[in-house]
Each structure stands twice: as C-alpha cells, then as structure tokens.
C-alpha cells in the first residue's frame, strides 16, 4: 500500500468501526536491533494500530528520563540512522501498520531534508513528527513530505494559544498530536481535567484526527482519552517494560506483550 494512504485508511476504518486508534511508541533499536524488531512485532500482534518509532538522538529535548535512556541504550548499541530505516524495512516484511518517526530536525536537516524524506518513504515510513520544528521554519520539510506523500505531523500543547492552533492545523497532515500535559514524556498518575475542552478547541480548526499523548500509562487513562480523542498514544509505559527487564530478552517481550494487551484492550466501541 502507498505510504500516503495507510494513515488515512487506518483512522477511517477505526472510525467506521466506532473505535479509536491506539498508537504505541518505542525507541528504535532499544536495546538493540534484533530485540527492537521483536518488540515491534509484539506491539503489532497485541493490537497497536500505529507504530511510533523514536529515532535515537543524543539531545532529545521533549523526552523524559525513560525515553532519554532508551535513546542512549540504542546509541550505545551502535544504532545509526540507516539502522532505523532498516528496522522499518524489516517490519514491512510482515506488517502494513502505519509507521511514524518521532524525531528531531537536526537528524533530518543533516542528511538533506529531501533525501531524508525520500529515504523514509522508500523504507516504508508513513509520516514524520518533528518535535522541535515550528511551522514557520518547516517550509522545506512540508514541501518534501507533500512531494513524497508522507504525513507531516505537528504537536499542539496545552500552552498553545488558539490563534496558533489555527496556524499549526493549517499545515498539519495525517493527524494532529495533542500533548495532554505540560513538560516532557513520562508516566503520570493523572490526566489533565480540561482534556475534552482542549481537544474540542483543536477540532474547531481541522478535520484531521486528533490523538492525545504524553503521560498516558494505564487502561483507565486510555479509556478517558478514548472518550474524547481519535487516538491514544502510549510510550513510556511500554518503554519501561524494556528498561525493567534489560538482559532478559524473553522477559522484555512477555512483559511488553502483557502490558500492551491490557492497554489496547481498554479501547471501547463508541
């Protein structure tokens, strides 16, 4: 299937069936390439609809400690950008789930924006979520993604003014990612009380699906987000299954499978 249609088809199909989309995040090549591939397969087998792969980076500003350490483990294992592309190519041998890179613009710009986008498409990537690239500076990436058929996903935060929501929504494609809490990634014990209002304010400016992430870690939290959004993103809670079981590949996979199943199973038919 063409990369440009996988994300749209996923959200359309899930909506038609009265279901939200479950997005699972892990850092590519954490703790190593072979285990990472098994992790991707496990996530998909346990109901992850869209795979969000963190591209290992030495200065991940939007990430909390859990995901910072995941990136560090990947880099220490010898992971290079080409390994991340290769990981996607291996996943494409057994799955057509949409794959989005969670990345930083340094990694794109340093390889040539157009070249990076084309390589991503060739590998089977469906979209790029570039954490530190504001719309005003994203012209080259937006053009390259449009030409190659990749989604260009932007983040909206609780601190984003309404006037700026309109600006971000006007250039976003694929879906809009709403950060449910201020700060960095990481498991949280509660969710923001104004989540429904915030999501509604985004919908005033776009027909794109709205997914909510950052801090979601329990089935109960998944259900709360499920009620108001088109998609739920879980990351740190999955990455912790890796960090808590380092050195035991089988335990990593079994722990991750159990956790993922409990979270994806929390989605209900609307």
Q: What residues are annotated to the active site?
A: 52, 63
The size of the chain, in residues, is 270
CB burial of 5-25 (b: ≥16 within 10 Å; e: otherwise) equals ebbbebbeebeeeebbbbbbb
Structure tokens at 77: 């294992």
H helix intervals, the chain: 3-16, 33-45, 65-76, 81-91, 105-109, 113-123, 139-148, 162-171, 195-203, 219-226, 236-243, 249-264
Distance CA 230, CA 209 (A): 6
Using the structure block, give the residue that is written with the tokens 């995040």. 25
Q: Which of 130, 201, 124, 122 is nearest to 166 (CA)?
A: 201
Q: Peptide bond before 31: cis, by omega within 30 degrees of 0? A: yes
| Distances 9 to 120, 242, 254 between C-alpha atoms, Å | 19, 30, 30
């Amino acid at each position: 299937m063409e990369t440009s249609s996988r994300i749209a088809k996923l959200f359309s199909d899930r909506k038609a069936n009265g279901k939200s989309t479950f997005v699972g995040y892990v850092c590519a090549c954490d703790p190593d390439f072979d285990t990472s591939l098994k992790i991707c397969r496990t996530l998909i087998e346990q109901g992850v609809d869209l795979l969000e792969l963190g591209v290992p980076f030495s200065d991940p500003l939007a990430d909390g400690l859990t995901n910072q350490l995941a990136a560090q483990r990947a880099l220490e294992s010898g992971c290079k950008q080409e390994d991340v592309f290769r990981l996607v190519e291996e996943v494409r041998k057994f799955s057509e789930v949409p794959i989005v890179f969670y990345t930083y613009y340094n990694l794109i710009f340093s390889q040539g924006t157009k070249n990076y986008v084309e390589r991503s498409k060739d590998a089977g990537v469906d979209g790029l979520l570039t954490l530190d690239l504001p719309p005003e500076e994203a012209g080259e990436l937006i053009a390259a993604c449009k030409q190659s058929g990749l989604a260009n996903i932007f983040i909206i935060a609780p601190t984003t003014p309404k006037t700026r929501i309109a600006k971000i929504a006007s250039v976003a494609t694929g879906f809009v990612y709403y950060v449910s809490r201020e700060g960095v990634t990481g498991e949280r014990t509660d969710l923001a009380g104004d989540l429904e209002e915030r999501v509604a304010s985004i919908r005033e400016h776009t027909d794109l699906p709205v997914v909510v992430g950052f801090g979601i870690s329990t089935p109960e939290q998944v259900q709360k987000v499920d009620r108001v959004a088109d998609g739920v993103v879980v990351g740190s809670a999955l990455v912790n299954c890796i960090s808590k079981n380092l050195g035991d590949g089988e335990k990593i996979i079994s722990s991750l499978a159990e956790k993922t199943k409990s979270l994806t199973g929390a989605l209900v038919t609307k």
